[in-house]
Amino acid sequence: MYCKGCRNPLPSKVEHLNYCVYCGRRIPGWPRWVKWTLALAVISMVAGPLGYRFWPQGDHSGAPVASKADLLIEDIIWTPTDPVVGEIVTFAVKLKNQGDADSGLSQVSLHVDSVEIGATTVSSLDIGNTSTQTFTWSAQVGVHSIKATADSNNSVLESNEANNQYHATLTIIEDDRIVPAISSISPRQGTPGQTFYVNIAGANLTAATTVNFGEGITVNSLNVNSPTKMTANLSIATDAVPGTRDVSMTGPSNTGILPGGFRVMAPLVNIASVYGIASADATYVGSNAQNAVDRDYVSIWNAGSHGSASRPHWWEVDLQQDRDVIEVVVNTSHAGDYAPGLTNTYNLYVSSDGSSWTLIGSGTLVANATDPEAYADRHLLSDQAPAIRYIKYEVTGGTNWAHLAEMEVLVDSDTNQPPPPAVTSVSPDHGTRGQTLVVTISGTNFTAATAVSFGADIAVKSITVNSAGQISAEISISANATIGVRTVVVEGALLQGGFLVMQT
C-alpha cells in the first residue's frame, strides 16, 4: 500500500497509523462511527457472559444496565391438607429466582394472621432455580390469612420488588374425633381451703375446653402449655368433703376422664409438737432445739453464730416413725427488737433413716416480729414422696445467727385415710371384642378402692375388693372396641398398657 501524496510505501499494519511517516499526509480509514460500533460489539461479547448487558431488554437505545435477580414465592403447600384444631401444620414455601442474575443470600418469612411464625435464610439461587423452606404451626380454629414473603429482609436488589408476597387462606375446623385424655395430675391431692396449682399430663390437651375436679373444687384458670401438658389453678372449698374425685376434661364434643384422679384430704394437723424430738449441732445459752417445735414463735432455737456454705449450722427433728408428710413450714420470726429484717439462707432435707437425705427445698427467711405467719416458707411435698421420719433445717448463710422459731410438720388429720394404691398386674391381661370376663387386678392399698377403669369401649360392670392387694372386676368389651392396649386405673393409680383388646 502506498501514500497517495508522496507515493512512498506504507507499513503493512496501516490500520494502526493515522498519518504518513514520510510526508505527514492523513491516511483515510473507516469512519469513526463504524469504529465505535465495532468496539462496543467486542465489549458486549466479553461482558455478556459476566452478567452485564448494555441495552435494556426491548430498548437498544438506552444506557448500559446490570442484570438483576427477581425473587418470588411460587407456591405454598401445607400438610395435612385439611388440618383440625390441635394438629401441627407444616408449610412448604417454594421460592424461585426468575431474574437474569444470581440472587445471593436472601430470607423467606411466613406469617399467619399477621403474626410471624418463622423466617429462614436461603442460600444464593442461580437463575431459574427454586428452593423450598418449611415452617410449622399449631392449628387453631378459624379462618386464617397466610402470607409468605420472599426477600423479607430486603437484602437483594431485584429487577421487580413488587412481586415478593404470596397470599393464601387456611380454614381450621374442630374435630369431634379428638378426645382430650388425662394420664396424671401432680400433686393429686389437696386440703379444704387450699388454693394452688397442679400440673396435668395427657394427650390432645389443646382440644380441652373445660376441666372438672369434682364437687367442692373450683378451677380458677387453665394454661395449656402443649398438647401434652397443662397447668390448672384450683381452690378447694373449706367445706369440701374429703375423698377421691374423678377428673374430667371436655373437648369439642367428647370428654376424657381420669377415675379417682384427685383426692381431697381431711384438714392438715401439725404433728411436730406432738411427736417431734429435736436436736442441733450448736445451741446458744438460753435456747434449745426443742423450742422450734413448741408452737411458740417467741421461743427459738439459736446456734449462737452464723452458718456458711463451708460450715453450715443444722437443726433436725425426729418424728419417731415414718409419716406421710404433706407439707413442711419453717419460720425464723420472733419478738426480739434486733431481728426484723435479718435473714437466714437455708436448705431443707428429709430422710427415712437419718443418714440418707433428700433436698426438698431451699430459700431465705426474713425475721419479722409483728407477723410471723406472713414470713413463713411453705414446702409442699409431692404425693409420690416416700414416708418421712427425719427433717433437717440447714443454715448456709444470711445476716442473722442461725436460728429457727418454729417448724410445722403437716399431715392428713384423717388417720383412717389409706395411702394411695398401686397397680402391678392384671390377669388375664387381654380380651376380645364382645367378650365379658372377670379379671384379677393385683397391687397394694386396694382396701378403700371404689373406682376402676379399663379405658375406652370397656365397661366395668362390678368390682370386688378381695384384699388390700387384690381386686376382682367383671368387664364387658364392646363389639366395636378399638383394637389395642388400654391403661388400667384404680383410684388414680395407673398401669400403662395393662390390658389388650384383640380381634374376635
- pLDDT of 444-490, one tens digit each? 878 667 889 998 899 999 999 888 789 999 999 999 999 999 989 88
Q: Is residue 233 part of a domain?
A: yes
Mean pLDDT over each residue of the chain, to the nearest integer: 84
Whether the pLDDT of residue 62 is over 60: the answer is no
- Report yes or no: 292 and 277 within 8 Å, Cβ to Cβ: no
**pLDDT > 90? residue 106:** yes
| Residue 1 banded pLDDT, cuts 50, 70, 90 | low
Per-residue pLDDT, 411 = 85
The enclosing domain of 116 has a CATH number of: 2.60.40.10
Question: Does 8 reside within a domain?
Answer: no
User: Picking from 56-65, 190-199, 238-247, 293-302, which range would have the lowest pLDDT averaged per residue?
Assistant: 56-65
408 and 430 housed in the same domain = no
Q: In this predicted model, what pLDDT tens digit does every residue of 423-450 receive, in sequence order?
A: 999 999 999 999 999 999 999 878 667 8
pLDDT beyond 70 at 60: no
Residues 379 and 432 in one domain: no
pLDDT of 58 > 60? The answer is no
Residue 2: inside a domain? no
| Whether the Cβ atoms of residue 296 and residue 406 lie closer than 8 Å to each other | yes
Q: Is the pLDDT confidence value at 42 over 90?
A: no
Residues 189, 280, single domain; the answer is: no
Please give the residue that has the higher pLDDT: either 116 or 34: 116
332 and 400 belong to one structural domain: yes
pLDDT at residue number 39:
65
Per the listing, cell 446458744 goes with 284
Q: Is residue 399 domain-shared with residue 296, that is, in the same domain?
A: yes
Q: Is residue 7 part of a domain?
A: no
CA 176 from chain centre, in angstroms, equals 25
* 378-425 per-position pLDDT tens digit: 888 866 567 899 999 999 999 989 999 899 998 877 643 445 688 999
Domain boundary among 247, 264, 281: 264
246 shares its domain with 335: no
Angle, vertex CA 408, rays to CA 407 and CA 411, nearest 5: 150
Least reliable range by pLDDT among 149-158, 282-291, 361-370: 361-370
C-alpha cell of 68? 438483576
In a domain, 4, yes or no: no
Chosen domain end from 213, 232, 264: 264
Percentage helix, strand, coil for the chain under 3-state DSSP, each rounded to 5: 10, 50, 45
Q: What is the pLDDT of residue 417?
A: 45
Check whether 17 has a pLDDT greater than 60: no
Within this chain, do residues 296 and 393 fall inside the same structural domain, yes or no? Answer: yes
Any domain includes 417: no
pLDDT value at 64 more than 80: no
Q: What is the count of structural domains for the chain?
A: 5
Distance CA 232, CA 210 (A): 11
Average pLDDT over residues 280-297: 90
Q: Which residues contact 394 (CB under 8 A, 6 or more apart)?
A: 307, 312, 313, 314, 346, 347, 348, 349
Residue 28 pLDDT exceeds 70: no
Confidence grade of residue 359 (pLDDT, cut at 50, 70, 90): very high
pLDDT value at position 418? 47
Tell me what the mean pLDDT of segment 341-369 comes to. 89
pLDDT category, 176, cuts 50, 70, 90? low
| 406 and 427 belong to one structural domain | no
Same domain, 235 and 320: no
pLDDT value at residue 428? 95
User: Which of the pair, 466 or 53, is modelled with greater confidence?
Assistant: 466
pTM above 0.85, yes or no: no
Which string of DSSP letters, residue by residue, matches 34-99? Answer: HHHHHHHHHHHHHHGGGTEESS-TT-TTS--EE--B-EEEEEEEEESSS-BTTPEEEEEEEEEE-S
30 and 84 in a common domain: no
Evaluate if residue 252 carries a pLDDT over 80. no
For residue 242, being part of any structural domain is answered with yes
pLDDT of residue 55: 47
Residues 363 and 333 both lie in one domain:
yes
Q: What number is the average pLDDT over the span 65-85? A: 89
Kindly tell me if the per-residue pLDDT of 374 is higher than 50: yes
Position 336 pLDDT exceeds 60:
no
Query: Which pLDDT tens digit goes with each residue over 199-210?
Result: 999 888 877 888
Are 287 and 407 found together in one domain?
Answer: yes
pLDDT band at 373 (very low <50, low <70, confident <90, very high): low
pLDDT tier at 152, thresholds 50, 70, 90: very high
The 3-state DSSP class for residue 377 equals strand
Residue 405, domain extent: 269-412
Q: Which of 231, 264, 297 is the last residue of a domain?
A: 264
In percent, the amount of the chain with pLDDT more than 70 equals: 80
User: Is there a domain that residue 6 lies in?
Assistant: no
Residue 164: pLDDT above 80?
Answer: yes
